[in-house]
Amino acid sequence: MKGLVLCAGRGTRLRPLTYTIAKQLIPVANRPVIHYNLNFLKNAGIRELAVVVNPDNHHVFKDFLKDGSELNMKIDYVVQQEPRGIADAVYKAREFLKEDPFLLILGDNLIFDDITPSVEKFKNSQCEAMVLLAPVEDPRAYGVAVIENDHIKRVVEKPKEPPSNLAIVGIYMFRSQIFEAIENIKPSQRGELEITDAIEYLIEKGYDVKARTVRGWWKDTGKPEDLLEANRQILDDMKLGDIKGHVDSSSRIQGRVSIGENSQVIESIIRGPVIIGSNCTVKHSYVGPYTSIGDDVELEQSEIENSILMSKSKVSKVRARIDSSVLGQSSEIHQNGVLPRVMKVVIGDLSIIEL
């Protein structure tokens, strides 16, 4: 069984972060989102996969993941020239997939559940498709399924009046009949080939489309608040801290805290769960729970919690506590500390500052 990871989206909801980094490479708990997805596939027994990319980020993923050998996987790449939907991305990968069954996952989704039983059930069955679902409070933002005895009877994309509370979580298993379905659907009103329409085609033609419900935690990391929620979830699952850097005698480490090599904590308080990367300096500062700090970060005379600081960012002499924030790579926040007290900013397109 092969794997297919979709990473061709432009990440518009995460701008300005995604002007310089693909959304699937944004770190959550100091690991890129796509690493969690690749581990998810490995845990499901999949070692051969393709990553669907767009022309602009093709080289980024290829440089980052290479051929997959470092991850004990075999990775190919498929370019989707235009953003024409999930079904179009699947069809673009048909030469890689051939006649093999495959597991499809959206590259910006995170799921922490063991789906091995579902994969085995699919492989040992005669069904043409299996769709993973989860109950949600507000299904209107998702593809929604109606099921009967583990069979999907109908799917609707982002309905105003949902027929059920079972949302499609972005994980699918298909056999080659899905290509027939894609060839027989038309673009939706937004100009995309919808995977829900392809699934609906399979149902209408009498193919067997099964449903499986996941109970573990899952999240679409398409917005900054989603990244922060995912960060909290992963840090909450930290079992123990691992302190490799230097913590001076005037500092206090409370709870589960990991500190990378060559990092220094000087006259500061770190209250976990917190993860700090390598080559960082935390000086005269407070780092509160649910904070992830990337490599080569400098934090001085400042307070921060429930936030993500990407690599090489700097925060200095900020009087107010920073909370629920995402700082991009090499970004900088500092307060000059002299009179007159004014705010001086240089911000890019679609940036957000809340004071």
Task: Return the bridge partners of 28, or none.
Answer: 31
110-125 b/e with 16+ CB inside 10 Å = b?
bbebebeebbebbeee
Name the amino acid, one letter, at 204.
E
Tell me the CATH number for domain 240-334. Answer: 2.160.10.10
Residue with token string 């498709």 = 129
Nearest Cα to 230, choosing from 215, 241, 217, 240?
Answer: 217
Q: What is the pLDDT of residue 195?
A: 92
Helix (H, G, I), strand (E, B) or coil at 219: strand
Nearest Cα to 295, choosing from 333, 244, 251?
Answer: 244
**Beta-strand pair 269-271/286-287:** parallel
In the CATH scheme, what architecture does the domain 2-234 have? Alpha-Beta Complex (3.90)
Q: What is the pLDDT along the chain (355 residues), one digit of tens a residue?
A: 999 999 887 656 666 565 666 788 888 999 998 999 999 899 889 999 999 998 888 888 999 999 999 999 999 999 999 888 999 999 999 999 999 999 999 888 888 878 888 999 999 998 999 999 988 888 887 788 888 888 898 888 788 888 888 888 889 999 999 999 999 999 988 888 999 899 999 999 999 999 988 877 777 777 788 889 989 999 998 888 899 999 999 999 999 999 999 999 999 999 999 999 999 999 999 999 999 999 999 999 999 999 999 999 999 988 889 998 888 888 888 876 665 665 555 555 556 666 5
Cβ contacts of 231 within 8 Å, gap of 6 or more? 28, 29, 290, 292, 308
Q: What is the pLDDT of residue 340?
A: 62
Q: What is the pLDDT of residue 56?
A: 85
Domain boundaries, the chain: 2-234, 240-334
**Cα separations in angstroms, 333 against 66, 219, 287:** 34, 29, 15
Single pTM value for the model: 0.86
